[in-house]
Chain A
């Protein structure tokens, strides 16, 4: 009923293999983009930007990055927080070293730096796999956080050991610093998210993505049919770290503005992003969005219900949040290992046939 395919004819392979083959679906995608780019910037205020929209956009980029590595290539990483820190510190060093260059370029360069670091820490993945690797990526997490804490060069010898974003602009519009406009920061992050999603989607359905998925499904078999595991795993680490680095750079420069590395990029951040990927759906770009939205909205919703409506102390709500998140992770793994994305897929299947069951 809602998803009509009747009359939606494909006459070329290209049309048959597009991301949204059903016309209604495609138009809905354009509509979402239009709302995101043309409507929300005019309605946005500081609260919405800082409490919900900016974290959602930034975490969604990080989730896309981790999803490439974990969901598509099967290499579980617990080092996401550390790689986000690399992006943040790379961005900071670039911003202070080259003030006249546009923020766009800084953020992308920060992603590139993170990709290099990611490849470096991805090297052991050729020998070890599974949770041995998951634990090995913790080495990246702890080492990188320690490094940024202890080597003064990274924070420009500032007295507090923190890094704080100076004012930088894109085409004369301030993006970082204390005097930004909500709509400008929002659009800046949205552009990066849209770009990331499109690039990730096309990477994962191309040749590279197929080699990743072959490695994920069975690495030895993949090697036998001619996939080069070295190239596949390291490219996954590079692509994943690139997106994670971008999200780290945005997280620091646009969202927080000032960062203490152990607090902002600690081990909990790694788990948070991993949870987004699990709840949203492993191996799905839409899942990264859904998971990020879910875990950004959950604390806000709990706070509204628990603190504002019921008047409970905040620490109880914080504990409840841990319990709920933990239970949800377990529940999703048991009931729907492919996460919210799979629920969405099932819903779409049903809607295609509705109101007829077959």
Chain B
């Protein structure tokens, strides 16, 4: 709780600033805030997975490409076989990539940065093989698939938000309420010490990469649904935006510290910045500068705090 308090304060402050800055009080309307949570859903789900990976001292650069690949696979399967098969095939492809990442990271001495850089290229290339790189539309009659990204429950709560909350609860329970989660903190804190206490490093590490990829798969399904199409070129840079949410949320890049609620709040902060600056009419070039400055400040302060403690 102590860790999340500064983040909550930052959210309150940012919301206050945007409420004053965006003209005609249009920021703090319920419709706009619902829009906000819907917009952060994909990034937050990717960030949940990356939190686990970064927590054990790893990294996964392939998530953005996996989003694109899962989208193309799912839409390609969707047209002949329906939404259940589409979702399962999409998640299976994501799981396969996670398994390869995890196997390479845990059984070899290759650095995760390079492993996932390579699998990112493989996933991107496979996605672009589909439909020669052109977007593939989702037929209008695929109501269930389209609902995943666009529908609202009771005409109010967007489905992507519910999926995001579901992913948050499942991942959060795994990380904060199980022995598995405790082991991840131990591995991230000190690998060798964790090994000597009898934690099965390789198995835990592989599971983490698989979980991260599966979450990317879920994000990919939502993304394809939101775009009414599979877009092989989409998802570029998603990994970086998700990493930004993770580090702003207080997860240390060296591993061992960080929480899932922190990541959710980090994703909200990034979302408020994106939306607020857009609505305040800030020139797009300056939006990048401001976002970069905020990330740098947040991480700097986090690092200082750890040095001091």
Q: Do A and B bind each other?
A: no
Binding site for A on B (CB under 8 A): none
Binding site for B on A (CB under 8 A): none
